[in-house]
Structure 1
């Protein structure tokens, strides 16, 4: 039986979140600008750049939204999602400012949804962010990264949106846990791969082999630890499989700090503060840091 759900391209808006962007952001936006009906550009930059503001406002199917400072990833995603709902859209494509979309990405996502018998239960349809088997066209996952997601806005409303208090790091993981707890699915399409940058790349050499890893600032380590501990503490019983994944990720990051990163005393100070804040459920943006 052929399934036809009739989700149209006009049902899909997009969002890109800016944070002190480079000029390359314009080239990145061009790769998906005309794959969606409308694009919300939410600016979390500490210092607004006039060129960015003016250049984006000149494009007809873009709405530029300034948060007048960094309010966090979750806040920006909620602003865009709620605006898209008010504007009558059913789906929202979420992109990082350093991500490029392959051609026909949204069309391929749309075709998948329109041929799926459970499309209403798919809360997130995503580009692939993990390994796919050669014979698989798609796969159900515990969680996926935010960039390259097609959010089902009906599911978004049912689960309550993103947790603003997390600010940054694990925002996607926490949302994904609530989505799955509510009975929805998260699906990655194996044929869709993004080009993106995940942080500052550093390297070291072992027995002549160069090892590359992603490095973040000490304050990002605080958010990573705090939010991870918060999630483990809150969801251990309701979603133990996802929590075990978070614990594994935390262990890897702690090991990286102990053996690879510089500024170890500063990072370990943030680590201890993050653990305490996570256990206490003390969220939000760090001030005066």
Structure 2
């Protein structure tokens, strides 16, 4: 299986980023670093040097922060043009070992051989070592799709970081939504894949330390724990989740659970969150704008990518 890896960055810690890029270079034919923030010439040279002797590294400098959707689409289309079969997506907060990538690739081959139309196989996100109480572990939403393969679970969606995306599936499902910018992009795409007759999986034996949010926030009187996010992320999360109410390919069971969840989220931030006023304002604005945009959704349309005409060209290294 020919693989390209892509990692999207935004003001990263270079000392943490370099070993992650090096690990991806060991497990892929090429690594594309899509920089949503400026990269100095010194940092560029250091990043390019991490691929010596392994997969080549290319840095794409975005003129602005264009979000994850456009970055993912650029990486996947780059891989398509070079005849790759799959793309391993990552972000700067996830630790992905070369062995993990090999497990994901082998599982995709096995699932395909078993007759499944595989869209994506994701790693199992876990809280970083030594901080299970600080960071919330990403929850898996399991689906009752049978597989005889051990340590393999069908899921509603695989989080984008640490996911191996089939390029054949990407062509069938369509691009990631650029207008979502950052949150719920992976959720919407995977629901679109299921609706098109493809499937999404998690390799339960491929753990990936992943930092979700800026720590944990417990919901009072429950055992539920939220990932604490800044107001800007709360806004896009709520806006995009509410926006998906207008999409027919998003299951009704998801729509019915998301509204009370947002209510619990607002209660948690009102009682215990940081920047309470700004956070509640962000949730409220996200809900308002999400409803407005949901009413405009064409329903069954995939509404893939926002029009990128007029944007500055991306600089490749």
Q: Same fold (TM over 0.5)?
A: yes
- Partner of residue 164, structure 2: 150
Mapped pair 1:30 → 2:22:
yes
Gaps of 5+ in 2: 126-138, 143-148, 298-305, 307-317
Mark the CA change 1:131 to 1:83 in structure 2 (over 3 Å): closer, same or farther.
Answer: closer
- Partner of residue 191, structure 2: 177
- Partner of residue 105, structure 2: 110
- Partner of residue 78, structure 2: 83
Mapped pair 1:193 → 2:189:
no
User: Deviations 1:85-116 (Å, cap 9, x if unpaired)?
Assistant: 01111100001112111341222222223333
Mapped pair 1:49 → 2:40:
yes
Mapped pair 1:270 → 2:282:
yes
- Partner of residue 218, structure 1: 231
> In structure 2, how many angstroms separate the alpha carbons of the residues matched to 1:170 and 1:32?
24
Q: Cα distance, 1:253 vs. partner?
A: 2.6
Does the aligned pair in 2 maintain the 1:113–1:119 contact within 8 Å? no
> In structure 1, how many angstroms separate the alpha carbons of the residues matched to 2:57 and 2:159?
24
> In structure 2, how many angstroms separate the alpha carbons of the residues matched to 1:132 and 1:279?
24
Structure 2 matches for 1:4-15, cutoff 5 A? 8=1, 11-15=2-6
> In structure 2, how many angstroms separate the alpha carbons of the residues matched to 1:245 and 1:86?
39
Superposition misfits of 4+ residues, deviation over 4 angstroms: 130-133
Q: Cα distance, 1:238 vs. partner?
A: 5.2
Structure 1 stretch displaced more, 245-254 or 147-156: 245-254
Does the aligned pair in 1 maintain the 2:157–2:191 contact within 8 Å? yes
Mark the CA change 1:229 to 1:203 in structure 2 (over 3 Å): closer, same or farther.
Answer: closer
Q: Cα distance, 1:252 vs. partner?
A: 4.1
Mark the CA change 1:114 to 1:224 in structure 2 (over 3 Å): closer, same or farther.
Answer: closer
Does the aligned pair in 2 maintain the 1:29–1:100 contact within 8 Å? no
Count of paired positions: 270
User: Deviations 1:108-128 (Å, cap 9, x if unpaired)?
Assistant: 222223333346611011112
Given the alignment, which residue of 114, 124, 139 partners 2:120? 124
User: Deviations 1:198-250 (Å, cap 9, x if unpaired)?
Assistant: 1212568x9xxxx9853211111111111110012324x75223334544543
- Partner of residue 141, structure 1: 155
Q: Cα distance, 1:29 vs. partner?
A: 2.1
User: Deviations 1:42-73 (Å, cap 9, x if unpaired)?
Assistant: 0011x433333222233351111011221001
Matched residue of 2:209: which SS? coil
- Partner of residue 244, structure 2: 231
> In structure 1, how many angstroms separate the alpha carbons of the residues matched to 2:59 and 2:210?
22
Does the aligned pair in 2 maintain the 1:228–1:246 contact within 8 Å? yes
> In structure 1, how many angstroms separate the alpha carbons of the residues matched to 2:188 and 2:172?
15
Mark the CA change 1:49 to 1:200 in structure 2 (over 3 Å): closer, same or farther.
Answer: farther
> In structure 1, how many angstroms separate the alpha carbons of the residues matched to 2:215 and 2:250?
35
Gaps of 5+ in 1: 1-7, 285-289
What is the TM-score normalised by the length of structure 1? 0.83
> In structure 2, how many angstroms separate the alpha carbons of the residues matched to 1:183 and 1:275?
30
> In structure 1, how many angstroms separate the alpha carbons of the residues matched to 2:287 and 2:35?
30
